């Protein structure tokens, strides 16, 4: 993985440390943290396959925030995203014994993205605001303690503009960008998760960023500040 993402309520905050640096094409060596996570996941999966519901719920606790944050970025609707995550976890529980790969997180991500794709395909209701938190003054985005109210307002405005632009680009581009820039998967992992070639993943990401820039237009100034 490009960078390990904690399965905490905000796994995305520091997913990309420096995207301007040259990036190896998915040949990033596994970090010890990844190995530990894999060992932990496999142990939990093994217990859950044996019928231990507590073990499975431990997996849910570890990944539900990550899954919801990911899926809501793809479908842009909280209720649909929640349904998709629930479906993904149901499917995961039913088919736990089929997990064969190395990374349980990648496997789960693939299931969740398939659920999200299905939601997008069959969605009939009008998408609701995926981030009602921004209307809620009591909620604070993950920012430093020192952030001033003006700074927070600016961050909110930037995030809103960016989220709206993300909603406008194609689902494939959005999914690739979110997996890469937000969730920290490398190109090869994204190719495995989405079932396309490495070149297609790169193309989607780069074209998606170009499209985002076009869509943001004048709002790009918010990012330059």
Partner 1 sequence: MRNSRSLVSDHRRHDRLLVARYAVGDAQFGQDHEAQDLIQRCSECAALADDIGRLSRAVGQLPAARRPRDFRLTAEQADKLRGSRLERWLRALTGSGWAAVRPVAAVALSLGLVMSVVGVLPILGAATPGAPPTTTDMSVGAAPSPDVHRSDTNGMEGPTVAPGRELGDSDGPMNAQGSADSELNNAYVDASPGARPVPDEAGAPEAATPSALGVREVLIYAGLSLTAIALVILVLLYAARQRFSDPLLR
Interface positions, 166-195, toward partner 1 (CB under 8 A): 166, 177-178, 181-182
Packing angle, helices 104-122 and 78-94, rounded to 10: 130
Gyration radius (Cα) of the chain, Å = 18
Is residue 50 a contact residue for partner 1 (CB under 8 A)? no
Distance CA 9, CA 128 (A): 21
The answer to whether 109 touches 176, Cβ cutoff 8 Å, is no
Q: Is 153 in the site for partner 1 (CB under 8 A)?
A: no
Asked if 36 touches partner 1 (CB under 8 A), the answer is: no
Q: Could you say which of 4, 7, 162, 167 contacts partner 1 (CB under 8 A)?
A: 162
- Nearest-approach distance from CB 187 to partner 1, in angstroms: 9
Enter the tokens of residue 19: 């995207």
Closest CA to 107 of 94, 116, 96, 119: 96
Least distance in angstroms from the C-beta of 34 to partner 1: 19
Residue 79 host element (H or E): helix 78-94
Shortest approach of partner 1 to residue 49 CB, angstroms? Answer: 11
Cβ 72 to partner 1 shortest distance, Å: 5
Q: Which of residues 92-121 bind partner 1 (CB under 8 A)?
A: 93-95, 97-98, 100, 111, 114-115, 118
């Amino acid at each position: 993985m490009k960078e390990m993402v904690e399965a905490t309520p905000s796994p995305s905050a520091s997913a990309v440390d420096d995207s301007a640096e040259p990036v190896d094409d998915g040949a990033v060596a596994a970090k010890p943290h990844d190995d530990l996570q894999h060992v932990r996941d496999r142990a939990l999966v093994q217990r859950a396959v044996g019928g231990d519901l507590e073990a499975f719920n431990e997996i849910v606790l570890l990944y539900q925030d990550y899954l919801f944050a990911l899926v809501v970025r793809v479908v842009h609707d909280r209720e649909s995203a929640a349904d998709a995550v629930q479906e993904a976890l149901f499917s995961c529980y039913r088919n736990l014994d089929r997990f064969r790969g190395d990374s349980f997180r990648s496997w789960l991500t693939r299931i969740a993205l398939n659920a999200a794709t299905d939601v997008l395909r069959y969605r009939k209701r009008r998408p609701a605001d995926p981030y009602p938190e921004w209307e809620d003054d009591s909620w604070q985005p993950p920012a430093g303690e020192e952030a001033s109210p003006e700074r927070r307002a600016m961050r909110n405005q930037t995030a809103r503009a960016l989220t709206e632009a993300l909603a406008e680009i194609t689902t494939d581009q959005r999914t690739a960008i979110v997996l890469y820039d937000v969730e920290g998967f490398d190109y090869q992992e994204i190719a495995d998760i989405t079932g396309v070639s490495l070149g297609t993943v790169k193309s989607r990401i780069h074209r998606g960023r170009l499209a985002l820039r076009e869509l943001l237009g004048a709002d790009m100034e918010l990012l330059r500040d």
